[in-house]
Amino acid sequence: MVTRASEGGAPAAAVLVLDFVNTVEWQEDVDTLATPDDLARWFEEHAGLRVSGLSEDDLLLARRVREGLRSVLLQHAGHEPLPAAASDLDDALTRVPLRMRLDEHGELRVDSGGSGGAAAVAHILAAVDGLRSAGSWRRLKACARESCRWAYWDASRNRSGRWCSMSWCGNYVKMRARNGDPLASDELLPRQGERRPARLIDVAARAGVSLKTVSNVISGAVPVSPTTRARVEAAVAELDYRPNLAARELASLRT
């Protein structure tokens, strides 16, 4: 059984991490963390942290850590991560201040150090460390449906959950596979021996922009600021992204 963390007996730390990863809804292309003020508001409402003076760099760091954690959660569900995902998360983590401290029970804990946006992000990572120490970190997973990737708490006894909802994403993926969809299954797990190619979502996640922005950069249909264009083009190059021409032709009713 896969369920919402708040309904499946998940600890508060798990709910916090899942809420952070799910601040973007890729199926709707809606990002809750659209501005630095949004980021500050989220930390106050969800983590009880008051941070001010956040910058675009703070926002970009938060998004990078968020998508890096999503990649880890995909691995928890048994799905192939992009080769560049781990190195990007490692690089982002070097920018987050963390320290060891002795808690009231005499146990060593990882905690956030410093102040500002990076320290707020460190609060999320401290929650991750707590889950890891408690042995429940691997219960946090991300949906295998390529267009979903929603983070969830796997409450199944054998921890075998693969989709955020079997009644929706799970059935959808199985139905497409059963019908022999020519565009291949909408699932992130590649065939054995294959390497998962980067998708549009991966480029958007790496660049810290929306799917629409990536599409505009690639198509050239709508002007995009030079700074944003440079970020998107760098992500395309790093991930070796290749547009899915078959999907494009299907969408435009051409072959």
pLDDT at 216: 93
Q: Which amino acid is at 41?
A: R
Instruction: Report whether 22 contacts 150 (CB < 8 A).
Output: yes
Cβ burial of 164 (10 Å; 0-12, 13-18, 19+) is buried
Mean pLDDT of the chain: 81
Closest CA to 63 of 238, 174, 227, 210: 210
pLDDT at 88: 86
Which residues are within 8 A (CB) of 240 and not within 5 positions of it... i.e. 6 or more apart?
A: 198
Using one digit for the tens of pLDDT, what is the confidence trace for 199-221? 899 999 999 999 999 999 998 88
Closest CA to 114 of 129, 103, 126: 126
Cα gap 204→210, rounded to integer Å: 6
pLDDT at 127: 92
Cα gap 101→108, rounded to integer Å: 6
Residue reference for tokens 């070796």: 240
What is the mean pLDDT for each group of 10 consecutive residues in the chain (255 residues)? 54 95 92 95 94 92 93 87 81 82 69 76 91 92 86 85 70 64 56 73 91 92 91 92 58 40
Report pTM: 0.82
pLDDT at 1: 37
- Residue-range domain boundaries for the chain: 2-154
Closest CA to 238 of 75, 77, 64: 64
Q: Going by CATH, does the domain composed of 2-154 fall within 1.10.3300? A: yes
Using one digit for the tens of pLDDT, what is the confidence trace for 38-62? 999 999 999 999 998 999 999 999 9
